[in-house]
């Protein structure tokens, strides 16, 4: 596999790993989202010391209003974080 294919596979597998923690494998509950963020993006929660960070993020990501984050909604988070990191590193280089 190419590096990009491996990266895509990793994203899919990470979502699956955390969405399987509870019953529904097709979405992340609030608890599963919190666990994913704590384990996979600890700096993200650390930078937002507000205890309601996960609540706010869930509300923003939950496009269909089912109080869960499905894979497409999760990809919105991945895209936002990737874009933000890209912008940050571009600024660091200048």
Tell me the domain boundaries of the chain: 3-93
> Model pTM?
0.85
| pLDDT at position 8 over 90 | yes
Report how far residue 29's alpha carbon sits from residue 35's, in angstroms, rounded to the nearest whole number.
10
> What is the predicted pLDDT for the residue at 61?
96
Mean pLDDT of the region 78-91:
89
CA–CA dist 38, 44 (Å, integer): 8
pLDDT in tens, 25-69: 899 999 999 999 999 998 877 765 667 889 999 999 999 999 999
Q: How far apart are CA 68 and CA 62, in angstroms?
A: 6
Select the CATH number that applies to the domain covering 3-93 from these four: 1.10.30.50, 1.10.238.10, 1.10.20.140, 3.40.640.10. 1.10.238.10
Is residue 18 pLDDT above 70, yes or no?
A: yes
Cα 13 to its chain centre, rounded Å, is: 12
Whole-number percent of the chain with pLDDT over 70: 96
């Amino acid at each position: 596999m190419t590096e990009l294919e491996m990266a895509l596979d990793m994203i899919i597998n990470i979502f699956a790993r955390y969405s399987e923690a509870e019953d529904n494998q097709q979405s992340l509950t609030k608890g599963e989202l919190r666990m994913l963020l704590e384990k996979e993006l600890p700096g993200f929660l650390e930078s937002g010391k507000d205890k309601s960070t996960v609540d706010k993020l869930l509300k923003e990501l939950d496009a269909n209003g089912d109080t869960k984050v499905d894979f497409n909604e999760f990809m919105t988070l991945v895209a936002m974080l990737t874009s933000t990191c890209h912008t940050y590193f571009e600024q660091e280089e200048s």
